[in-house]
A and B are shown apart, each in its own frame.
Chain A
Amino acid sequence: MMTSDSYITFENVRFSRGKNRIFDGVNIAIPRGKITAIMGPSGTGKTTLLRLIGGQIKPDSGTVRVDGLDVGRASSKSLLAMRRRLGMLFQNGALFTDLTAAENVAFPLREHSRLPEPMIQRMVTLKLQAVGLLEAAGHMPAALSGGMARRVALARALALDPELMLYDEPFTGQDPINVGVLLRLIASLNQALGLTSVLVSHDVTEALSIADYVVVLNQARIVASGSPDALRAQMSGNTFLRQFLEGAPDDDHSELGQRSARNFAEALGLLPRPDRAATASRRREVR
């Protein structure tokens, strides 16, 4: 799906960390103005993918383009210019712990604009209002709940009116109410502000409910991609996809897997231990 409507493209990207291959010739096209969910089990390099997009790390080979800019080879000046147009919501919020919620939201404005203080205050108020946390403006991050901290971080990420929003596991560790709030915020902000959003998550139901396009990663490769409906249609012919989307347990038919399952069942007392069973049968024979 490499079209001119793609905001981000990964072209044959390879990336390793030590001996561990994270991406092995990955091709992804993230459409402009849509919500794209990058999904996969833990440890498949979803966060690494966001860092590649932000230019914090460079691919070993291949090209990552963000709005036409080759971020792996870009000068630091053009990289900084690109980052000013993106916002990122980190998994734990990454709020500055020595600043209040309002100061956190004001941080990028103070760093990148010469706006007068009353104007900055007004913009901070608007951003905090957008995430429904105006009353928490004066709170320090330590005084905020996990969900509130993530919403303050979202307001901070939106402070510079970005074109691209990156969300790193936004639903992890959140209660159902907060998940609902975040889902509504991500979807409505994307629509209202015309953003391109990349959402990295392993929360299948939540991510599929708001995503326009989904990419599923496993073992350094793309396993499936397409709209949520297209993905569901692919499920029957793709064992991993079915297992991942339905949250089914491993069906390990290998000898090692079977032995491990047997040992586990024996340890739990669900199966008689072979040594005890043999002793019992010998006793029976003696009698």
Chain B
Amino acid sequence: MNGHRNAFLDGLALLGQAAMAAAAHSGQMVLFTGHLLWRLLPAWTRPRLIVQELYAIGVLSLVIILISGGFVGLVLGLQGYNILSKFNATESLGVMVALSLVRELGPVVTALLFAGRAGSAVTAEIALMKTTEQLSAMEMMAVDPLRRVVAPRFWGAVFSMPLLAGLFSLVGIAGGYFIGVVVLGVDPASYWGQIQQQMQPVDDVLNGVIKSLVFGAVIGLIAVFEGFNAEPTSLGISRATTRTVVLSSLSVLGLDFILTAWMFGA
């Protein structure tokens, strides 16, 4: 009986410790965000650093984004054709593929891939700089690492995401065209025509851009925070990169629901 009671109390203590650790982590993140916000505008005095990060974070993620966009478009085209053909509505394949991509799959799948490809790289890079005392050395040289290292990477993530999501959607629409029009024989004029008629610049395109901007900011923030606050050991770096991918992915999916309810909800 006593054994059960002790096990229960141990479990409760562990739960309490985990809750305290999570609360401390969240508090640290809020503080970090506050410090970072003060440095976001001053970082623009060195635009070259932000351009460098756009290349490292955005351009170097292009291959995985474009290939994934192509495959997602092919699958959407195939599935869409099968469903729409049951209702004799295959001429709507273009708009179905385009809306699915621009409103949802473009921002969300790009964000998930982006978290895995660029978010983890940013975290590992900053954490390694911390481990090898490069950030400390900067501080001692009177150079603010938040402004010099962290803020440009955050901006790089914010600006890369909408551009990558846009390209993902474009390649996806092309993939849908290939499978629908070239392979399955859907009328090309219907494919493009329906897209032109049905897609709304504000409701669909702008909302998709807003989503990807929000996702970029969230992934950027999580990536730089986890890197900056990583324990300076190899295990610490490994944990930080894992946390970046897990937290970013969950945040993207959760935020997507909230944003979708706000933008497209009844």
Contact = CB atoms under 8 A, between A and B. Distances in A.
A binds B: yes
Nearest to A88: B140
B137 A112 contact: no
A90 to B, nearest CB: 5
Contact of B143 (A88, A108, A166): A108
Interface string B253-266: 00000000000000
Interface stretch (A28-36, A78-86, A222-230): A78-86
A56 B143 contact: no
A96 B134 contact: yes
B139 A56 contact: yes
Interface in A76-110: 80-81, 83-84, 86, 88, 90-92, 94-97, 107-108
Nearest to A90: B133
A94 B141 contact: no
B136 A90 contact: yes
A54 interface: yes
B235 interface: no
A112 B140 CA distance: 13
Chain B interface size, as a band, is 10 to 19
Contacts, number: 46
Interface string A103-126: 000011001100000000000000
A56 B134 contact: no
Contacts of B63: none
A151 to B, nearest CB: 15
B49 to A, nearest CB: 11
A94 B142 contact: no
Interface in B116-140: 128, 132-134, 136-137, 139-140
A54 B132 contact: no
Contacts of A81: 142
Interface residues of A, number: 21
B143 A111 contact: yes
Interface in B138-189: 139-143, 148
A83 B132 contact: no
Contact of B136 (A56, A96, A97, A107): A56
Contact of A97 (B134, B139, B140, B143): B134
Contacts of B142: 80-81, 83-84, 111-112
B229 to A, nearest CB: 16
A5 to B, nearest CB: 24
B143 A94 contact: no
Contacts of B128: 97
A56 B133 contact: no
A88 B137 contact: yes
Contact of A86 (B134, B140, B143): B140
Given A94-B132, A94-B134, A56 B141 contact: no
A94 B137 contact: yes
Interface string A129-172: 00000000000000000000000000000001000001000000
Contacts of B137: 88, 90, 94, 96
B141 A83 contact: yes
Contacts of B139: 54, 56, 83
B72 to A, nearest CB: 34
Nearest to A54: B140
Contacts of A111: 141-143, 148
A96 B140 CA distance: 14
B117 to A, nearest CB: 19
Interface in A42-83: 54, 56, 80-81, 83
B141 A108 contact: yes
B132 A97 contact: yes
Interface in A242-277: none
A88 B139 CA distance: 10
Contact of B140 (A56, A91, A92): A56
A230 to B, nearest CB: 31
A95 B136 CA distance: 11
27 contacts: A54-B140, A56-B139, A56-B140, A81-B142, A83-B141, A83-B142, A84-B141, A88-B137, A88-B140, A90-B136, A92-B133, A94-B134, A94-B136, A94-B137, A95-B134, A96-B134, A96-B137, A97-B128, A97-B134, A107-B141, A107-B143, A108-B141, A108-B143, A111-B143, A111-B148, A112-B143, A160-B141
Interface of B: 128, 132-134, 136-137, 139-143, 148
- Return the 7 tightest CB-CB contacts between A and B, nearest first: A83-B142, A94-B137, A94-B133, A80-B142, A88-B140, A84-B142, A108-B141
Given A83-B141, A88-B137, A111-B143, 12 more contacts: A56-B136, A81-B142, A86-B140, A91-B133, A94-B133, A94-B134, A94-B136, A96-B137, A107-B141, A108-B143, A111-B148, A112-B143
